């Protein structure tokens, strides 16, 4: 198994974190005897898989195991085959009754998933839950899920494709960027951003952007209007959960104009790849790079 890390970037410690995540993944896979997954040597590969987050479902399908997925979490909409499957509820509070009715022999999840993990253990259902907070987490999860699904070669191929996508992004002079999260029309009180070590921060960096809050010290800091204005980003990426109607979009643009940003400095983005760490990460970075390429010097 080959392990590739990010080029040196503003986050630092990328290689150490990636190797730590891979080590934890291998531990969970039972390679070092500390985890519980299906005994594929004796009983074959899992045939009834539940994906407890949209990002995990996307990854399972990209790895070629979609024909064995029998249920997904709410808000799963990609690929279309996954969107048509039975739902098990939200990622944070899935329905135990629906899970049992689908008779899974493996649950794939995202993050700590403590309640789901506890339930799975009491029911004797194997579960593997991996973090997807950073690009390196995505890399490790691709390899980890690929191993437990029996698609190791496809996992490496998928990882190579993602790396090739990153490498194909043209290198340009860095553009200062503000990543806006939690912006509701007419209200900046809940405005947040992505700080160092996050998936979005790295996507912007790989696209040629310089996150003006990369050194905040917090992964998801709250931002005041005054602080944002002082940072003077060249462009604002206002990331929203789709779908938005045109009235909603115009209200968001008006807010930024009132704050002093020109219309050409603001992009309202609804691409789910920006909010869903997974195999389309290079597509997300390419989209941001395309936007940054339009910024006036």
d(CA 134, CA 112): 14
> C-alpha distances in angstroms, 261 versus 145, 212, 235, 247, 266?
43, 15, 8, 19, 7
Q: What confidence tens digit (pLDDT) does each residue in 175-190 have?
A: 999 999 999 999 999 8
The whole-model pTM stands at 0.84
Single out the residue of 191, 188, 186, 190 nearest to residue 251, CA to CA: 186
pLDDT on residue 93: 87
pLDDT tens for each residue of the chain, 297 residues long: 333 334 334 344 444 555 455 555 555 544 333 334 444 444 579 999 999 999 999 999 999 999 999 999 999 999 999 999 999 998 888 999 999 999 999 999 999 999 999 999 999 999 999 999 999 999 999 999 999 999 999 999 999 999 999 999 998 889 999 999 999 999 999 899 999 999 999 999 999 999 999 998 899 999 999 999 999 999 999 999 888 999 999 999 999 999 999 999 999 999 999 999 999 999 999 999 999 988 765
Residue in the structure block whose two tokens are 């630092």: 12
Please, what are the domains in the chain?
14-33+44-166 (3.40.50.1980), 175-292 (3.40.50.1980)
Q: What confidence tens digit (pLDDT) does each residue in 44-64 have?
A: 799 999 999 999 999 999 999
Single out the residue of 149, 152, 121, 99 nearest to residue 36, CA to CA: 121
Q: In 49-173, which ranges are E strands?
A: 49-51, 69-72, 106-110, 127-130
d(CA 235, CA 233): 5
């Amino acid at each position: 198994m080959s392990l590739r890390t990010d080029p040196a970037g503003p986050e630092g410690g990328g290689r150490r974190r990636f190797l730590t995540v891979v080590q934890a993944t291998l531990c969970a896979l039972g390679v070092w005897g500390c985890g519980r997954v299906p005994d594929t040597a004796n009983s074959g590969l899992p045939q009834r898989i539940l994906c407890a987050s949209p990002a995990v479902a996307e990854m399972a399908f990209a790895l070629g195991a979609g024909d064995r997925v029998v249920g997904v979490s709410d808000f799963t909409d990609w690929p279309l085959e996954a969107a048509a499957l039975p739902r098990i509820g939200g990622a944070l509070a899935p329905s135990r009754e629906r899970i049992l009715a689908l008779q899974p022999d493996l649950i794939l999840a995202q993050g700590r998933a403590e309640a789901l993990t506890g339930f799975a253990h009491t029911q004797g259902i194997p579960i593997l839950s991996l973090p997807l907070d950073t690009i390196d987490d995505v890399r490790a999860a691709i390899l980890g899920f690929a191993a437990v699904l029996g698609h190791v070669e496809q996992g490496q191929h998928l990882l190579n494709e993602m790396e090739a996508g990153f490498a194909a992004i043209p290198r340009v002079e860095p553009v200062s960027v503000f990543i806006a999260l939690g912006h509701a029309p007419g209200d900046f009180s809940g405005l947040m951003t992505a700080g160092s070590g996050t998936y979005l921060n790295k996507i912007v960096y790989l696209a040629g952007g310089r996150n003006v809050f990369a050194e905040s010290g917090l992964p998801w800091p709250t931002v005041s209007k005054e602080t944002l204005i002082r940072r003077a980003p060249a462009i604002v990426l206002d990331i929203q959960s789709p779908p938005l109607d045109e009235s909603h979009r115009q209200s968001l643009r008006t807010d930024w104009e009132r704050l002093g940003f020109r219309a050409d400095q603001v992009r309202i983005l609804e691409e789910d790849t920006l909010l869903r760490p997974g195999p389309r990460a290079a597509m997300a970075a390419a989209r941001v790079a395309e936007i940054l390429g339009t910024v006036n010097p």
